[in-house]
Structure 1
Amino acid sequence: MLRYRAEFDAEVTFTDGGDLSARRFQVDVPHADVTEAEITERLIALLAPRPVDRARLSAVRVFGEPAVIPGPRRARTRFVELSHVIRDGLTTYPGLPAPQISHYLSHAESRDRYAPGTEFSIDRISMVGNTGTYLDSPFHRYADGTDLAGLPLERLAELPAVVVRTAGGPRGVTAETLGQVDVAGRAVLLHTGGDRHWATRDYAVNAPYLTREGAQDLVDRGAALVGIDAVNIDDISAQAHGERPAHSLLLAAGIPIVEHLTNLAALPVHGFRFTATPPRVAGFGTFPVRAYATVPA
């Protein structure tokens, strides 16, 4: 789409005295076949309210240029990192193997494969899906549940989100605690403070968790995703006898879970969006994510 402009030199005399000279002056015109008289009328209109006695144009040319169509203004946002860094040998969950990170092909080893000055690193990682900050799909709990490849992006990206702050309170996040929070269609992030013990022996000791009643409340009220900054969304102490009610209820309802979040203290309680997207791996239930929030600046 083109817009048209006329460029010209002008000598203008005003009725109330004085004159004006212009070189390569430009005005917008409606089409390429505009006449000099029409261009003069537009110049006189631009000079109003000064009354013009005479206007003489010269060196007139009309040209087209691409029109700039303004789009909607994008609100300014800032990004908040909510994931832990995965490093070689880092233990995420007690009893599960740490990731092993190595080179399949190092920069130095690649040099004889490419032109002088060109080199690449191709890296290898061996790990279980439960490494770092990760997302659980229903397949993690149920053999016939949706796997990572089947999760729709609508359940993972740019979700309106809320933070429920329970740090310093009881270990179990209850339905009563959640009762005053609007969770329908939102990512519900449980800020328990459990991440302060990340990568230490204390991380799994008396860790915060979501109670059975709390999980059922989130299911009943239509939460879109649930995350926690602790070792597990369930109680993993010996007193729990291996039961996993939060996993069972949330994943049966198709609600993804993100565990081992961090930095939730940097978020407002509401008014932001949350994203945690794993790769589309078929036949896989859990995988690390780059979890982050977008917050209005």
Structure 2
Amino acid sequence: MQQYRAELNADVTFTTGGRLQAQGLRVEVPHLEVTEADLAMILVGSLGLRDVERVELSGIRTFAETTPPAGPPGSPRLRFVELSHVISGGMTTYPGMPAPVVSAHLTWEDSRPQYAPGTEFSLDRIEMVGQTGTYLDTPRHRYAGGTDLAGMPLERLADLPAVVVRTAGSGRRAVTEGDLEPYAVAGHAVLLHTGGDRGWGTPDYATDAPYLTGEAAALLVERGAALVGIDSVNLDDNTPAAAGERPAHTVLLAAGIPIVEHLTGLGNLPPHGARFTAAPPRITAFGTFPVRAFAQVPYYEPHDHNRSAGWMPSR
């Protein structure tokens, strides 16, 4: 597998008066023609820096590396991170929506007369709305005639490089343009780690839940995000104060950018370096359906202290 990297020197100044200087840093980049402005955002996002006032880069060198799929100890490996809630009969996803009903269409016992002795099967049945568990919204969810589940290209749903934007613990509900500003999001799944999943399955889950502002959604469209996900009850503000408006859904789905809601476990992902997948069945004339959302995260053997999933210091 070929990966692209940039080696550079950095001088980062913070609004708090602090300063960070580094030489020979290596960061992963999407291609060899990455601009200096994009490099600055990638660097800030990879290191999880906040309150950045200025980034000055020098000695920039981009190059390609080929990583073998497997190798001796010390080579990168992958771990899978579960990002979906479990679906079970009678559960509540979005308050007011009907709960799923799980039942048997054919039991093991009833199937026995149809097969040879010792052979039996069960056929299970589920009745549910598309907004059950962790699910993906397509443009058809918002717009009549919009792209449905069957029409969504896999390039928008599977093996996407992920950017994790963290506001969990901030005490703020809204994810704003300022939260997104440090990150390069073109072609990425932008995953909003708000901490809203802590209330999953409780009456508080839908009360004053975190959300993405319409202005922030417009910024993601402008910068070419491939998908947007959140670990909250709704990507938009669902309180009465919003008066039923859904600007984030409106802007993103108009641009063909799918949305994944009710994620969980985003705290287990690094800011950069993970690959995200959330693919639903191919159903026509259907706008929303549950997904098995997960991420693949590269890691290195413990004795290889100088490498990590998102960036590497010079050797």
TM-score normalised by the shorter chain: which range applies? Answer: 0.7 to 0.9
Tell me, in whole angstroms, the C-alpha distance in 1 between the residues paired with 2:244 and 2:69.
Answer: 51
For residues 124 and 78 of structure 2, the distance between their equivalents in structure 1, rounded to whole angstroms, comes to 33
- Looking at CA atoms only, which structure, 1 or 2, has the larger radius of gyration? 1
For residue 284 of structure 1, what is the aligned residue in structure 2? 286
Amino acid at match of 2:161: P
Deviations 1:127-154, CA, capped at 9 Å, x for gaps: 0000000000000000121000000000
Equivalent residue number for residue 156 of structure 2: 155
SS of structure 1 residue aligned to 2:277: strand
Secondary structure, in 3 states, of the residue corresponding to 1:80?
strand
Residue 137 (1) aligns with residue 138 (2): yes
Q: How many angstroms does 1:73 deviate by?
A: 2.9
Q: 2 CA distance for matches of 1:115 and 1:230?
A: 49
Does structure 1 residue 200 correspond to structure 2 residue 202? yes
Q: How does 1:160-199 map to 2 (within 5 A)?
A: 160-169=161-170, 170-199=172-201
**1:231, 1:129 → 2: CA distance?**
14
CA distance in 2, matches of 1:191, 1:272: 14
Aligned length: 227
2:239 match? 237
TM-score normalized by the length of structure 2? 0.71
- State the alpha-carbon separation in 2 of the partners of residues 101 and 139 from structure 1: 26
Match of 1:33 in 2: none
Mark the runs of 5 or more structure 2 residues left unpaired by the alignment: 1-66, 71-75, 300-315
Counterpart CA distance in 1 for 2:135 and 2:95 is 15
Amino acid at match of 2:143: Y
Distance 2:186 2:176 in 1: 17
| Counterpart position of 1:10 | none
Alignment of 1:206-245 (within 5 A): 206-245=208-247
Amino acid at match of 1:264: L
TM-score by length of 1: 0.75
Deviation of residue 72 (structure 1)?
5.0
Alpha-carbon distance in 1 for matches of 2:194, 2:293 = 17
State the identity as a percent.
70
SS in structure 1 of the partner of residue 272 of structure 2? coil
DSSP 3-state at the match of 1:139: helix
Give how far 1:107 is off: 1.2
Unmatched 5+ residue regions in structure 1? 1-70
Kindly provide the amino acid, as one letter, of the partner of residue 182 in structure 2. Q
- Aligned with 1:123: secondary structure? strand
Question: C-alpha separation between the residues in 1 aligned to 2:205 and 2:109?
Answer: 39
What are the residue-to-residue correspondences of 1:62-73 with 2, within 5 Å? 73=69
Give the match's secondary structure for 1:271: strand
Aligned equivalent of 2:248: 246
Q: Aligned to 1:86, what secondary structure does the other structure show?
A: coil
CA distance in 2, matches of 1:130, 1:248: 17
2:93 aligns to what? Answer: 92
TM alignment of 1:122-133, pairs within 5 A: 122-133=123-134
